[in-house]
Structure 1
Amino acid sequence: MMVVFLVVFGIFSTVYAFDCPDNCKCSTAAHKNLTVCQEGDLRSIPRTLNPYTNHLDISGNVIENLENRTFVEAGLINLQAIVLKSSTIRRIEQGTFVGLKWLIELDLSNNFIENIHPLLFSDNKLLEMVNFSGNPITRLVPYQFTTLQNLRTLDFRNCALENVEEEAFSNLVSLQTLCLKNNKLTTLPKNIFTWLKQMHNLDLDENPWQCDCNVQVIAILLLIRGLYNSNGTLTCTYATKPTIIRWQDMDHIHNDCEHHVQAHVKETIMSGSPRFGKSTVFKYMNTTRRLPRYSSHILQSPFLPWIAAFLALITSYGCVICICNIYKYRIQTNTHKKNYECTNKREENSIYRDDFCLIDEENTTSDVSVSIDL
């Protein structure tokens, strides 16, 4: 059986490699039907590609526009990965990727894309990785990727982002890695990362951040969720003076941002965000003007008042139990006392009865009794 499979696979690989257009290389390996058409001076997606192709690398060409249904009309409905980097792409129409039900990875890096339609990936529910790095994209609108619930990696490094709306990353429940490195971002909405529960890699380096309340809230978010850059390279500056502040020192500025931080903490609690320590929650619910220092968490633990309240509650409960037991004991004692007194009175009154028995003290075994009539 294995021999038959290898023979069939070898024949398919040979046919697949033979049926390959000019300026392209086709191969089959590890369950991948790979077609590579790099730097072939292509102006559009070739219509002569093998329909069984599931990995297509067409980077380094001159494809300025991607039109609606361009891949489906080329018969490439089995695509799982598309690489279109450095292909001078300027415009992508809304229905470009319609019909690609199995698409998982898409690389559009280093092109000239300025806008992304919110419904561009409405037909690609299985997408896990999208790379837009190196494009002059300036803005991400609300619900930019709302249909991509399986998206895990999103890359916008080296773009020209100036504005990212609060709901831009909404519904990305599986997003784990987000890169916004080297853009023109000065601030972000404070709630932009609240709903990204699975995210554990976030890169915000090399942006001209301005020190405001939103940035302070985001800095706190990075700390309490373990997303802060361990190298401490993130900095911001005041709009009125060129003072450079490290993000880990953002607790020293903007005391008027306290209510912003508290509101964000409440929203983060509601979102069920992971790695959100309860001690930090209580810290910020009481005061937000100082970030917790790892060396003083024990000395300044916000749990101490709650522990004291818990011990007081336990003590009160124990006192109530003791009082109830004492009261119960007294009731039982009084009851026994009354029963004892009644028994004594009953025995004392028995000598006044008309009939009683005299027992021979000398012969205790005698069954003789004398009845005396008084």
Structure 2
Amino acid sequence: MWLTARTAKRHCGGNSQYSVAVHCVLYLLLLHLQLCSSCPSVCVCRSTEADCGGHDLSTLPALSLLPSTVQTLLLPNNHLTSLPASAFTNLSSLVRLDLSNNYLGNLPAHVFTDLGNLTELNLRNNSLTALDRDLLQGLGSLQRLDVSLNGLGAVPLGLLEHQHGLIWLSLAGNRLQALDRAVFEPLENLQHLQLGSNPWECDCNLRDFKNWMEWLIYRGGYVDAVECTLPKDLRGRDIRSVPVEMFNYCLQVDNENGATKGGATPCARATAAPLPGGAVVQSESEPLDCAKQRYRPISVRRAIGTVVIAGVVCGIVCIMMVAAAAYGCIYASLMAKYQRELKKRQPLMGDAEAEADSEEKQISSVA
């Protein structure tokens, strides 16, 4: 930059002609614009986008040189293995961040904290085997999250606690065998969930999450195929098509495993231990799952089926009652009519009997 400034001074100095002066002003203006609009050498910067992908980078470029107007930062197809904790400190204007197709194996807990305006985060096809529960802290505007094609074996409780605006989530192509329903309950606006290509074990550990998926589908959401790997009799079958009755034994297993020697469940254990002096110390061994206990319906699909069957049965019973009432009314009407006709015939029958008696008396007198 210093050499460029000297060049501008040499071009402008010692010449008083008007055209040269105009040329000098334009040259200085272009120099000023060049100094203000800096960009890392390996990146291609536009007004709102910086593309630093496909350069086999093993470390991040100088992101502090990015223009303040950048909203999209692309870093895919590199060799990044880790990120410093302050990597995105001065990039609060970012809306989209793409870190896909790298070798990221561990991410600091608060690496994305300053990206409060970020709506899309792409971590697809990396080497992530675990996620810190505070990784997404500060991303209150996040709408799309892609962590597919990694090596995740679990999703920590609390990771999605504040992601109420998330509408698209992909966990496909990992090593997930089961998921905790409580992890996903904060996602009130989720519309699209990808879970395919995971080694799912369709046992009691996946029962509650199956119920949550049915609830998500019931309210209009989309979930791709969740094919079972174990047990063998369910291999290749979508867990959503497995009847909920197959998980009834889980209630008995929960009761047997959850009861303690004193008869209390794990969440009902005393969490305070009295000391000899009368003080009470809060126990730190309380299970994290006991923090939130919510009512969980057995199955939305089963509940709907029960309502439909009950409605049909009630309808049939009502029809039978109406038919019985109509039959009773008709029968009563016919019996009343018969009784009226019978009463009309009784006087006639009485006169005939009197005439027969008089004739018998006359015959007896003649005799």
TM category, shorter:
0.5 to 0.7
SS at match of 2:181: coil
Task: State the distance in 2 between where 1:297 and 1:145 align.
Answer: 41
Judging changes above 3 Å, is the alpha-carbon distance between structure 1 residues 194 and 268 closer, same or farther for their aligned structure 2 residues? farther
CA contact (8 A) 1:181 1:207 kept: yes
Identity percentage of aligned residues: 20
Count of aligned pairs between the two proteins: 245
- The amino acid that maps onto 1:169 is L
CA contact (8 A) 1:216 1:250 kept: no
Q: Give the CA RMSD over aligned residues.
A: 3.8
What do the CA deviations read for 1:86-143 (whole angstroms, capped 9, x no partner)? 0121111111111112110001110111112121111110000000001111111212
1:46 equivalent to 2:33? Answer no
- The amino acid that maps onto 2:91 is L
Residue among 65, 70, 74 paired with 2:59: 65
1:235 equivalent to 2:227? Answer yes
Residue among 238, 244, 264 paired with 1:246: 238
Residue among 303, 308, 327 paired with 1:298: 308
CA contact (8 A) 2:164 2:186 kept: yes
Task: State the distance in 2 between where 1:123 and 1:215 align.
Answer: 35
- The more displaced of 75-84 and 237-246 is 237-246
What do the CA deviations read for 1:213-265 (whole angstroms, capped 9, x no partner)? 231111111111227987873222435777444212151323243498xx99x
Superposed, 1:35-114 pairs within 5 Å as 45-46=40-41, 53-66=47-60, 70-72=62-64, 74-114=65-105
SS at match of 1:139: coil
1:134 equivalent to 2:151? Answer no
SS at match of 1:214: helix
Judging changes above 3 Å, is the alpha-carbon distance between structure 1 residues 48 and 144 closer, same or farther for their aligned structure 2 residues? closer
CA contact (8 A) 2:194 2:223 kept: no
Q: So what's the TM-score if we normalise by structure 1?
A: 0.56
Judging changes above 3 Å, is the alpha-carbon distance between structure 1 residues 268 and 223 closer, same or farther for their aligned structure 2 residues? farther
| Per-residue deviation, 1:300 | 3.9
Residue matched to 1:257: 250
Task: State the distance in 2 between where 1:290 and 1:195 align.
Answer: 19
SS at match of 1:106: strand
SS at match of 2:208: helix
Task: State the distance in 2 between where 1:250 and 1:167 align.
Answer: 30
Task: State the distance in 2 between where 1:235 and 1:19 align.
Answer: 56
| Per-residue deviation, 1:147 | 0.9
Task: State the distance in 1 between where 2:190 and 2:125 align.
Answer: 22
Task: State the distance in 1 between where 2:70 and 2:191 align.
Answer: 29
Judging changes above 3 Å, is the alpha-carbon distance between structure 1 residues 250 and 95 closer, same or farther for their aligned structure 2 residues? farther
- The amino acid that maps onto 2:50 is L
SS at match of 2:163: coil
- The more displaced of 134-143 and 233-242 is 233-242
What do the CA deviations read for 1:292-340 (whole angstroms, capped 9, x no partner)? 1756542247xx9xxxxxxxxxxxxxxxxxxxxxxxxxxxxxxxxxxxx
Task: State the distance in 2 between where 1:57 and 1:85 align.
Answer: 9
Task: State the distance in 1 between where 2:204 and 2:195 align.
Answer: 17
- The more displaced of 107-116 and 245-254 is 245-254
Structure 1: state its 5+ residue gaps: 1-10, 21-32, 36-44, 271-280, 305-374
Superposed, 1:162-181 pairs within 5 Å as 162-181=153-172
Residue among 195, 209, 234 paired with 1:218: 209
SS at match of 1:299: helix
SS at match of 2:185: coil
Judging changes above 3 Å, is the alpha-carbon distance between structure 1 residues 183 and 75 closer, same or farther for their aligned structure 2 residues? closer
Structure with bigger helix share is 2
- The amino acid that maps onto 1:204 is L
Judging changes above 3 Å, is the alpha-carbon distance between structure 1 residues 104 and 231 closer, same or farther for their aligned structure 2 residues? closer
CA contact (8 A) 1:232 1:247 kept: no
Task: State the distance in 2 between where 1:238 and 1:136 align.
Answer: 25
Judging changes above 3 Å, is the alpha-carbon distance between structure 1 residues 149 and 268 closer, same or farther for their aligned structure 2 residues? farther
Judging changes above 3 Å, is the alpha-carbon distance between structure 1 residues 290 and 153 closer, same or farther for their aligned structure 2 residues? closer
- The amino acid that maps onto 2:238 is R
Judging changes above 3 Å, is the alpha-carbon distance between structure 1 residues 268 and 77 closer, same or farther for their aligned structure 2 residues? farther
Structure 2: state its 5+ residue gaps: 1-25, 255-266, 268-288, 315-367
Residue matched to 1:149: 140
CA contact (8 A) 1:71 1:77 kept: no
Q: So what's the TM-score if we normalise by structure 2?
A: 0.57
- The amino acid that maps onto 1:151 is L
Task: State the distance in 2 between where 1:297 and 1:239 align.
Answer: 31
